[in-house]
Structure 1
Amino acid sequence: MSDLDIRPAALNDIPAIVAMLADDPLGAQRESPDDLAPYEAAFRRLADDPNQHLMVAVRETRVVGTLQLTIVPGLSRRGATRSIIEGVRVHGDERGSGLGTQLIQWALDESRRQGCHLVQLTSDASRTDARRFYERLGFTPSHVGFKLAL
């Protein structure tokens, strides 16, 4: 995959990112590709925060994958910094190509570079393929998650 470039997302990547976020049963219920204004506002907030890394994988000028890496300084675990991987998506015609592994490897390498001691991620319980993918990469299920809509 030498023709692949993993780079920070740009504002003009937002339509492709949102399309990937919406391209599954869960995302189709919560994403709105027809109204990009809230995504563009969120992008600006992310771009202003040095602990946020919204990345895209680009092949031949086409955005084919994305993820967000958040660096979180903390006091627990003896003051350890951790990272959180979110919003991992691979374009439908790229699934199974190894691209997801390359994106996660980028996130792990960047987490190490930033001095993180722990990497966390969550995946919806209904995404059984994603769970197998993350476990194959060495992640272990360890916590019960809770959400509260505000």
Structure 2
Amino acid sequence: MGNEVEFRLAIERDLERIVEMLADDKLGATREQFELPLPEVYREAFRAIEADPNNELVVAYLGNKVIGVQQITFTPHLTRQGGWRATIEGVRTCSSVRGKGIGTALIKWVIQRAKDRGCLLTQLTTDKERKDAIRFYERLGFQASHEGMKLTLR
């Protein structure tokens, strides 16, 4: 097994591992349904992401094992003089590699990807209960400059 983390677009074969990582924390355990076979809703969502040129599901892998994931959505805006922005969602690393720089590498990778796509801004939200995640993003230069709001529809 190699010892350098690499990144690529996720493929459907990665989906079980991705959902497992999404479910492997206090909040994810209440939101996700990791069981085999996976509920079909995950495959439907994956296919929608894969078909959309402004969405990318990116995995970090070491050797042949997926150890991290994040979704990037590229959105054009009228604000900032018609500039594009990248929104980062669903950032997770597997529990066995947490604290080893994989999350940092994921975020640095996505920032470069956003620059490559011509984005003027990269943004994300994190649950207020995720105090460690908030400190992590702040260390990477993100600022809590806005108040994020969400409305759960179901």
Same fold (TM over 0.5): yes
Secondary structure, aligned partner of 1:25: coil
Structure 1 range deviating more: 123-132 or 3-12? 3-12
Out of 109, 117, 120, the position equivalent to 1:117 is 120
Aligned length: 150
Task: Answer whether contact 2:4 2:62 (CA < 8 A) is retained.
Answer: yes
Residue 41 of structure 1 corresponds to 44
Q: CA deviation at 1:148?
A: 1.4
In the TM superposition, what are the counterparts of 1:131-150 in structure 2 within 5 Å? 131-150=134-153
Q: Distance in 1 between the 2:64 and 2:21 partners?
A: 16
Matched, 1:13 2:32: no
For each residue in 1:78-112, what CA deviation from the matched residue of structure 2 results, as whole angstroms up to 9, or x when unmatched? 11110100100011010111111110011000000
**Partner letter of residue 27 of structure 1?**
G
Secondary structure, aligned partner of 1:38: helix
Task: Answer whether contact 1:22 1:31 (CA < 8 A) is retained.
Answer: yes
Out of 62, 67, 71, the position equivalent to 1:68 is 71
Out of 100, 105, 108, the position equivalent to 1:102 is 105
Task: Answer whether contact 2:17 2:66 (CA < 8 A) is retained.
Answer: yes
Task: Answer whether contact 1:72 1:82 (CA < 8 A) is retained.
Answer: yes
Instruction: Mark the runs of 5 or more structure 2 residues left unpaired by the alignment.
Output: none
Q: CA deviation at 1:8?
A: 0.4
Q: CA deviation at 1:36?
A: 3.1
Q: CA deviation at 1:3?
A: 2.2
Secondary structure, aligned partner of 1:105: helix
For each residue in 1:21-78, what CA deviation from the matched residue of structure 2 results, as whole angstroms up to 9, or x when unmatched? 0011100001001233111100000011011010001111111000001100110111
Q: Distance in 2 between the 1:74 and 1:59 partners?
A: 36
Instruction: Mark the runs of 5 or more structure 1 residues left unpaired by the alignment.
Output: none
User: Which aligned segments of 4 or more residues in structure 1 are displaced greater than 3 angstroms?
Assistant: none
Q: Distance in 1 between the 2:93 and 2:152 partners?
A: 27
The Cα RMSD (Å) is 1.1
